[in-house]
Amino acid sequence: MDVFLTSDAKRDIEILRLTRPQTGTWGLIFGHNRGSRVYIERLFPAGKNPPRNLSLLFSNIGKASARTPNGLFVFGSSSAIKKAVLGPAFCGKLFSEISPAGLEKRLKFHIVDFDGAFFLSPVRTAAGR
């Protein structure tokens, strides 16, 4: 499996880095799956403190927009958000850490996986033009 960043997603990441939100700011990843590739189309910043029930948020967004997020991202790092995604509601979803500076190589994408316990499995990243 790998992740492909569309030009819109790359632009969203560049804007995030330019505006320099607080470390720990989180948001939603939107895109679609095609075969073994996840195409990331947009990233939507959502705030500093995630809601208590992220799985309910995913469900409500899906109902409101007919589009369920493909995962979550965090600007910098956040152990609270990492812990929140390690559960059945996020199995198969993406989790990304976006560094405050640097190139796409500094992006870390993972998929939430399960093998007796939930864990983050690294995913390769490709970028569009």
Structural domain boundaries, residue 89: 2-127
The DSSP 8-state label assigned to residue 41 in this structure reads E
| Both structure tokens of 63 | 């109902």
| Count of the separate structural domains present in the chain | 1
What pLDDT sits at residue 107? 78
CATH number at residue 34: 3.40.140.10
The amino acid occupying position 99 is S
Cα–Cα distance, 64 to 69 (Å, whole number): 12
Average predicted confidence (pLDDT) for the chain: 84
The residue whose two tokens read 């007919």 is: 66
List, for residues 17-60, the tens digit of each pLDDT value: 888 777 788 889 999 989 889 999 999 888 887 777 877 887 78
What pLDDT sits at residue 129? 54
